[in-house]
Amino acid sequence: MATSYPGLESSMDKKSTEYSYDSKIEGDVIVTRIDAALRWFQKNSIWPMPMGLACCAIELMAAGASRYDISRFGAEVMRFSPRQSDVMIVAGTVTYKMALAVRRIYDQMAEPKWVIAMGACASTGGMYRSYSVLQGVDRILPVDLYIAGCPPRPEALLDALMRLQEKMSKQPLLATQKKVA
């Protein structure tokens, strides 16, 4: 859990998205940037869109069950609606027949959105080098994180979620929006 979360003391020299908090001076008041606060809210309530296609979906469900509780990270809301979710976890083999549906669902997700390719089949096609399997979901979607394993353990999925939280916390939010506008 204590992988590379920036310590509060060293947040002074980090990039603009970190928050600064000095308990001696401010007490219960946190002084921060809007970017950092919004990113903190976002990363602690990632709502996944489980694109559970094959065996990896069972490990995804196991990660959501009581032993490897994904709800600790705020991600237990596995709504199957793309409009309400932040990250799409592609768990399982993507075939060419299914690829169209996966792409359409990704397009329906609202910005900002991320993609986790869970398992060997979603990352590179896995052990199915055949005529009907898309060799990696990154041929149709921009993937942020790849998880290896066939299927990956739920701990690996939780580790990926934590790395995604780190990645989210480093991306500037309002600056992107200002650029687009």
Partner 1 sequence: MAESREIQVRDAGALASIPVSPDALPVPGEESAELRGDRMILNMGPSHPATHGVLRIVLELEGEQIIKASPEVGYLHRGDEKIAENMTYTQFVPYTDRLDYLAPLANNVAYALAVEKAMGIDKDLPERTRYIRVICAELGRIQSHLLGLGSYAMDVGAMTVFLHTFTEREKIYNLCESLTGARFTTSYTRIGGLARDLPPGWTDALSRFCEEVQINFDETETLLSRNRIFMDRTQGVGVISREAAIDYGLSGPNCRGSGIEHDLRKSNPYLVYDQLDFDVPVGSTGDCYDRYILRIEEMRQSVRIIRQCLDRLPGGPINVPDGKIALPPKEHVLTRMEELIHHFINVTQGVNVPAGETYFGHENPKGELGFYINSRGGGTPYRLKIRSPSFTNLSILPHLLPGHMVSDVVAILGSLDFVMGECDR
Partner 2 sequence: MAGTARELAERLKSRFNTALSEPVEYRGEITLVVPDPQRIAEVCSAAKNDCGFDFLVDITGIDNYGEDPRFTIVYHLYGYSHCQALRLKTSVSEEHPELPTVTGVWRAADWHEREAYDMMGIRFMGHPDLRRILMWEGYPDFPLRKDFPVSGRPSNVPEVGFTRTAPLEGGPFVTVAGGKDTIAREPRARKPDTEGPEPKDRPEHKDNSSTSQSATGGAEPIEKKQ
Closest CA to 128 of 101, 104, 106, 96: 96
CB of 80 to partner 1, least distance (A): 4
Residue 148 binds partner 1 (CB under 8 A): no
**CA pair distance 65, 59, nearest whole angstrom:** 10
**Which residue ranges make up the site for partner 2 (CB under 8 A)?**
96-97, 125, 129-133, 135-136, 138-144, 171
Verify cis geometry, omega within 30 degrees of 0, for the bond prior to 82. no
The span of 19-27, 36-44, 124-132, 169-177 binding partner 1 (CB under 8 A) equals 124-132
For partner 1, the binding residue among 30, 38, 55, 140 (CB under 8 A) is: 55
Residue 86 binds partner 1 (CB under 8 A): no
CB of 135 to partner 2, least distance (A): 6
Identify which of residues 19 and 73 has a Cβ nearer to partner 1 in the complex: 73
**CA pair distance 169, 163, nearest whole angstrom:** 10
- C-beta of residue 40 within 8 angstroms of C-beta of residue 126: no
